Amino acid sequence: MRRFFAGIVVAALVGAVAACGSSGDSGSDAGGGVDKVKVGVIPIVDVAPIYLGQQKGFFANRKIELTMESGQGGAAIVPGVISGQFQFGFSNITSLLIAQTKNVPIKVVANGVASTGKTGADFGGVAVGKDSPIKTAADLAGKKVAVNTLKNIGDTATRESVRKAGGDPNGINFVEMPFANMPAALASKQVDAVFVVEPALSAVTSAGGRVAAWCYVDTAPDLTVAAYFASTKLIADDPDLVKRFTEAINESLAYADAHPDEVRAVLGSYTKIDPKIRESLTLPKWPAEINRSSVETLAKLGAQDGIFTGTPDLGKLLP
C-alpha cells in the first residue's frame, strides 16, 4: 500500500516537472532579442505556407522564433489569441466577420488562403456521389448538404452557387459534420451532397464522386477564404512585431504560390495525408493581398443569409 502511494507521488513529481518544462513562455521579449511567437493554426493544407516559410527561414530572418500550435478549430484558436496564449491565429473569413459583429477584439494582419478561381480545379466545392441525380448547382435546392460548420463560409458559398444557377437556396437542409466523416456519409447516402475541401475532396472524387458546384468560384472571383489575425491589444502594444510577422507571411505566401512541389513536400511534415493524395490534390492559391471586394461580398451574403445581425465593419477588421 505504502509502495503504491510512493509510486504515485513519484509519478506526480515527474509529471509536474514535465509539465513545467513543456509550458514555455508565451510572451515576446521586448526589443533587441528574438521574439518568440506562437501561432494557432489548424493542421490543414491551407497553412502550408507558414510551415514552408519557417523551414526557409523567412521568420528567423526577421528575428521571429516561430512555434505553430495546432488547434482543432476556431473555438480553440480565437480564445487563445485574445488571452495572449498565441500571438497570431488562422481562421476563415466568415468566422472573422461574425467575430467582428460581436466586437471580438481581433484584426486581420495578413492573407491566409484563397480560392484558385478556376471552375473545375479548385481546392473546395460541393460534391455528390457517383450515381447522384444532382447535375448542377440548381439541383441542390431542397436537398441535404453536409458542411463542416453551420452558419459559416461553407453554407454561404453553397447558397450563392445555387442562387447563381437559378435555384432556391432557402430550402437546403444543412447538416454539420467534420470533413473526415463526409466521404462515408455521402457513400451511404445519409446526405445528398457534401461541401468539402482538400484532402477530403480527393477522397470523395477518387471514390467515384464528382463536384456539382464550385462554390468558392461562384461566390466571388479569387475569393479570399481565410486569413491570419491578431488581437487588437498586440497590434497596439507591439506594432513592429506585427509588421515583421506580416512581411514574413507575405514572403511565405509568395514563395508557396511559386513552388508547389515544395508545398506538397512540407505537407508531409505536419499532416498525415497519404503521399499519393499529396501529389494529386488541388492546391489553393496563396496571394499576398487580401481580395477586399470578395470579403465585402461575403459580408453582404452573410447578412442576407442571416448569419450575422448587422453588417461587419470591414474598416475595423481588415488591415
* Site residues, other proteins (CB under 8 A): 1, 4, 8, 11-12, 14-16, 18-19, 22-23, 26, 38, 40, 42-44, 69-72, 74-76, 78-80, 82-83, 85-86, 95, 98-99, 102, 104-105, 146, 149-152, 175-181, 183-185, 187-188, 190-191, 199-200, 202-203, 207, 270-274, 277, 307-308
> Smallest distance, Å, CB 2 to other proteins?
11
Neighbours of 276 (CB within 10 A): 10
247 vs 274, beta carbon nearer other proteins = 274
SS3 at position 68: strand
Question: Is residue 293 within 8 Å of 219, Cβ to Cβ?
Answer: no
Q: Which is nearer to other proteins, 32 or 188 (CB)?
A: 188
Q: Which is nearer to other proteins, 138 or 301 (CB)?
A: 301
| Positive or negative torsion for Cα 122, 127, 133, 134 | negative
> Grid coordinates representing 218?
461562384
Least gap, CB of 143 to other proteins (angstroms):
14
> Percent helix, strand, coil in the chain (nearest 5)?
50, 20, 35
Distance of closest approach, residue 70 Cβ to other proteins, in angstroms: 4
Nearer to other proteins, 15 or 166 (CB): 15
DSSP state of 84: T
Distances (CA, A) of 289 to 25, 85, 114, 253: 32, 27, 10, 10
Smaller CB distance to other proteins: residue 86 or 255? 86
| Least Cβ distance, residue 174 to other proteins (angstroms) | 8
